A and B are shown apart, each in its own frame.
Chain A
Amino acid sequence: MTSSNAILTADHINVRFETAEGPVIAVDDVTFDVKQGEFLSVIGPSGCGKSTLFNVIGGLLNTHQGTVKVGAETINGPHPSIGMVFQEESTFPWRTVTDNVAFPLELTGMAKAHRIEKAKHFIGMVGLNGFENRYPGELSGGMRQRVSLARTLASEPKILLMDEPFAALDEQTRLLLGDKVLQIQQQLKQTTLLITHNITEAVQMSDRILVMTYRPGKVKRIVDIDLPRPRTSEIVGSEAFGRYVAQIWNDLREEASRGMRDEEKHVMDEAP
């Protein structure tokens, strides 16, 4: 399932957690790769180990078995080639938008004038011109996620790794921000790995979608999305889009139902 021109390779990833009720296999022998410039989404029901996989690839979790490679290099922690955008609101409230976006540039020791100029370029890219001197507390949730995205893009990662970055937003904002991400991805030819549970979002943006099973999280299927590019959210009205959504939901329905039954059983077991 891996190819020679892959920029990111996850090879036989296994993650196991010890809990009070015994060991839980969160990720079970997951293998896939992402090619240069590709947009790959990982989709699965809640509890399938998507976020665990995100943490393993981002280098934030080191208790896994298997290897993650950037090009030919095996990574054992956070890697400068991988830029992460988190699900939770992660802007620094004490920094202005410009200072937030300039954060990774500041770490490189870049001169202040240069990093502000560069930060403004990325602020413009996510469509936040005019908000450079505002603090995150003065922005909406969607705008704050765009600041996080711009901050990660400013570090110019080879691979953009996003964990449900728009999960907390309403559907309309999510579709519009999806457009923005697509536009940036196409402009920068940015290799992107998106973790999501939203089928529409995954089909709208991806070249391929990796469908995961409910616990233990395994690769159920990889679906190639053969929709024309450049894409926008208008594509959600097309017949082909609907077919892909139906196909993936078909794969996911059984897994999501299994997850729901498992949750109900857990609640029943815990009831006095």
Chain B
Amino acid sequence: MSAHARRTTLRDTAPAVVGVGSLVAFFLVMEALVQSGAVNRFIVPPPSEIFMSFGRVIVEEHVFSRFLQTLVECLTAGIMLTVFGVAGGVLMNRFKLLQQACETWVAAMASAPIVLMYPLFLVIFGRSSWTIIMMAFVSALPPVILKTIEGISGTRKVLVNVGRSFNLSTYQQFWKILFPAALPTIFVGIRLGLIFALINVVGVEFLINYGGLGQLINDLAERYDLAGTYAAICFVILVSVLFFMALEKVERWLRPVD
């Protein structure tokens, strides 16, 4: 292997090596702190204990079916908030009266603790996945709407004028210019929305003690099985990682460059 090829390989792999290395170093430091008694093991279990509990959580707590349930709830909420959020943003941008009338309320909703409304959703949808999905959907909708409006209205005027100079219809102007120009900003909104959705899905599962990983975390925490609780949290992180990887693929497919 030439020196140049070696340098290139090193440059390509270095971020991954440093990333994994930092994580391993963090676990080793935590292990040392807990084992030495500097950190109370009844608050933070040693990482080795968490790793050992993975097998138990997977087999005894049926983690995969719970993982799947949380994933499906997130996916459903994600699809709903993308469809309704983007459509809402487009409509509000198109009809200025609607935007002027509603934008402040939508912005206010974005920072409101909507999760506190879960008793109302329980009454409406019952103790079911729909309560969880609808809570996640409603909480995560505002950033998608707001970012869609921002993306479309932020399209450079000259691009709109290019469309006009080619005599594009309103439909063509939207699909060929406004929407692709706004996509990066819309995806920022969808990413934010998905973060809100995931927090709400797991949070409401925890609160109403129903369904997937949130309920499992609740069960394990109440049994004071801290190693198991942290292992279950790792699966929540996995859901998040899978979601964002899939979203990045979709974004690259829709718009190959920034």
Q: Which residues of A contact B (CB under 8 A)?
A: 58-60, 77-78, 80, 82-84, 86, 88-90, 92-94, 103-104, 107, 135, 137, 155
Contacts and interface: CB of A to CB of B under 8 A. Distances in A.
A104 B172 CA distance: 12
Given A59-B165, A83-B165, 13 more contacts: A58-B165, A59-B164, A86-B162, A90-B158, A92-B177, A93-B257, A93-B258, A94-B183, A103-B176, A104-B166, A107-B166, A107-B168, A135-B257
B161 to A, nearest CB: 6
Interface of B: 156, 158-159, 161-162, 164-168, 172, 176-177, 180-181, 183, 255-258
A137 B258 contact: yes
B183 A60 contact: no
Given A92-B177, A93-B257, A94-B180, A60 B156 contact: no
Pairs of residues from A and B, 10 with the lowest C-beta to C-beta distance, nearest first: A84-B165, A88-B158, A135-B257, A90-B158, A94-B180, A94-B255, A78-B167, A90-B162, A86-B158, A78-B165
A106 to B, nearest CB: 8
Contact of A80 (B164, B167, B176, B180): B167
Contacts of B164: 59-60, 78
Contacts, number: 51
Contacts of B256: 94, 135
Contacts of A83: 165
A103 B158 CA distance: 16
A60 B177 contact: no
Contacts of A90: 158-159, 161-162
16 contacts: A59-B165, A78-B164, A78-B167, A80-B167, A84-B162, A90-B162, A92-B162, A92-B180, A94-B181, A94-B183, A107-B166, A107-B168, A135-B256, A135-B257, A137-B257, A155-B166
A82 B161 CA distance: 13
Contact of B158 (A58, A89, A137, A155): A89
A137 B162 CA distance: 18
Best-buried of B165, B167, B172 by chain A (most CB within 10 Å): B165
A93 B255 CA distance: 9
Contacts of B181: 92, 94
Given A94-B257, A137-B257, A78 B166 contact: yes
Contact of B165 (A60, A92, A93, A94): A60
A94 B184 CA distance: 10
Contacts of B172: 107
Nearest to B172: A107
Contacts of B258: 93, 137
Nearest to A151: B162
B162 to A, nearest CB: 5
Contacts of B158: 86, 88-90
Contacts of A58: 165
Nearest to A148: B162
B185 to A, nearest CB: 13
